[in-house]
Structure 1
Amino acid sequence: MDSTDPKDLVRRGYDAVSARYDEVYGAETKYEALLSEICELVPVGGAVLDVGCGSGVPVARTLATAGYRVVGIDLSEVQVRRAREQVPAAEFIHADVMTASFDPASFDAVVSLFALIHLPLAEQQDLLGRIAGWPRPGGHFVATTGHGEWTGTEENRLGGGAPMWWSHGDAATNRSWIRQAGLEIDREDFLPEGTGGHALFWAHRPGNPT
């Protein structure tokens, strides 16, 4: 793959900093409140897809431990290998989510935290359209997106010796894309980070649960 390709930068970047990323961002304890709320929304035993699952901690491990059937997908081979080691109760797929195929209405929830922002903007909108068909009617979609418009790289991400790449539109753009995909937005939060932050969308697929 071309080393200047954005996805190659992301893949190599997470391959290089997988363990370091978990240390810096406190993988053991982050997202506690968010994951608690997801567990309140989705019946125990339900199926959850984690798009951009990383090392499997904390999302996949928390949900699998709570009794959910979890499938994770990630572009980084190192992240997926670590996820399989750390969360043997879940299923993990090493693939570009843009090439992945899941049966329609096969999940009770689709979760994607800090992953969409590593895709080119055109692919983000396309992926949201595909994701909208994966939850069952009444099923949930919980995702972080950009809050402000920005595209850029960081050299030597977390001291791992490799760059990282991001691209995201603003919250209004993401709000529009989610609605255009056919999902109904229930709530929108702001997650501060440094001098900026991210939008957190809580949405669902219209229809009655079956």
Structure 2
Amino acid sequence: MSAEDIIGLYERHAAAFDAQRGRGLMERAWLARFTALIPPGGAVLDLGCGMGEPIAAHLIGLGFRVTGVDSAPSLLALCRTRFPGQEWVLADMRGLDLGRRYDGILAWDSFFHLDHADQRAIFAVFARHAAPGAALMFTSGPSEGVALGCFEGETLHHASLSPAEYRALLAGHGFAVLDHRAEDPECGGHTIWLARRDGAQATSAG
């Protein structure tokens, strides 16, 4: 299975994904760092929002205005039912242009399903939706390559660029890296990038 098949996989198995996705919010500490960079009541763009739980739900509970983007209609239908006061957009994040800028952009466990070329191109999507000083957080793989997982008996595609290339892409699109952790043991082994738009001072070599 390639990256092109991911949309169909999540649509076919939306109910299973909803049932199996943990709600324990192991991401809490990183989300706290992300939201600390966003003004109260600010607007957050959640790319690959899934069914909106637990991450979008957490952000909504903190008073942020969430625009969730996903390419699986069944998952977005769950978002609209559970969180009708927010905006849920059926779209592919690749080439996305909503004509608006956000105080925070999140691509948690979504961006890494794209192939290498699409990952490089998505940084322009991040940049055109980022307000001055906007926070950006996404997950990737720990090193360059492709990894194949499995969900509901189907192959699940993941890809990653090298850390050096991610840093170069962020810098080239006006983002400064605030922190980077590879396979963080306190966050389920996620590899996480936290950055800020428009020349924010980096605070960690990562």
What displacement does 1:118 show? 0.9
Of 167-176 and 116-125, more deviation after overlay is shown by 167-176
CA RMSD of aligned residues (A): 2.3
Q: Kindly provide the amino acid, as one letter, of the partner of residue 178 in structure 1.
A: L
Q: Give the corresponding residue for 2:35.
A: 39
Shift of 1:198: 4.1
Give yes or no for the alignment of 1:70 onto 2:66: yes
User: Equivalent residue for 2:174?
Assistant: 182
How far did 1:13 drift? 1.7
Query: Structure 1 CA distance, aligned partners of 2:13 and 2:129?
Result: 30
- Which of 65, 84, 88 is the equivalent residue of 1:88? 84
2 CA distance for matches of 1:165 and 1:64?
Answer: 29
Contact kept? 2:112, 2:160, Cα under 8 Å: yes
Shift in CA distance, 65/165, structure 1 to aligned 2, threshold 3 Å: same
* Secondary structure of the structure 2 residue equivalent to 1:130: helix
Structure 1 residue 23 displacement after superposition: 4.2
Q: Which amino acid aligns with 2:32?
A: S
Aligned residues: 198
Mapped to 1, the partners of 2:109 and 2:42 lie a distance apart of: 23
The answer to whether 1:142 aligns with 2:137 is yes
1:192 CA drift (Å): 4.0
**Deviation of the 1:54 alpha carbon:** 0.9
Q: Say whether residues 1:6 and 2:7 are aligned partners.
A: no
The CA deviation string for residues 71-120 of structure 1, in whole angstroms up to 9 with x for no partner, is 0101222221122222222211111111321225x210111101111112
CA deviation string 1:176-210 (max 9, x = no partner): 221222211111122347xx9443111111169xx
C-alpha change, 1:130 and 1:100, in structure 2 (3 Å) is: closer
> Normalising to structure 2: TM-score of the pair?
0.85
Describe the shift of the 1:5–1:207 C-alpha distance in structure 2 as closer, same or farther (beyond 3 A). closer
Matched with 1:107 is 102
* 1:166 equivalenced with 2:158 (yes/no): yes
C-alpha displacement of 1:18: 3.0
Deviation beyond 4 Å, 4+ runs, structure 1: none
Q: TM-score, normalised by structure 1?
A: 0.83
What is the DSSP-based 3-state SS (H/G/I as helix, E as strand, rest coil) of the residue aligned with 2:13?
helix
1:175–1:85 distance in 2 versus 1, CA, 3 Å: same
Q: Do the aligned residues in 2 keep the contact of 1:137 with 1:207 (CA within 8 Å)?
A: no
- Work out whether residues 22 and 54 of structure 2, in 8 Å CA contact, stay in contact via their aligned partners in 1: no
Structure 2 regions of 5+ residues with no counterpart? 201-206
Per the alignment, residue 203 of structure 2 pairs with none
Q: Which runs of 5+ in 1 are unaligned?
A: none
User: Match of 1:109, as an amino acid?
Assistant: G
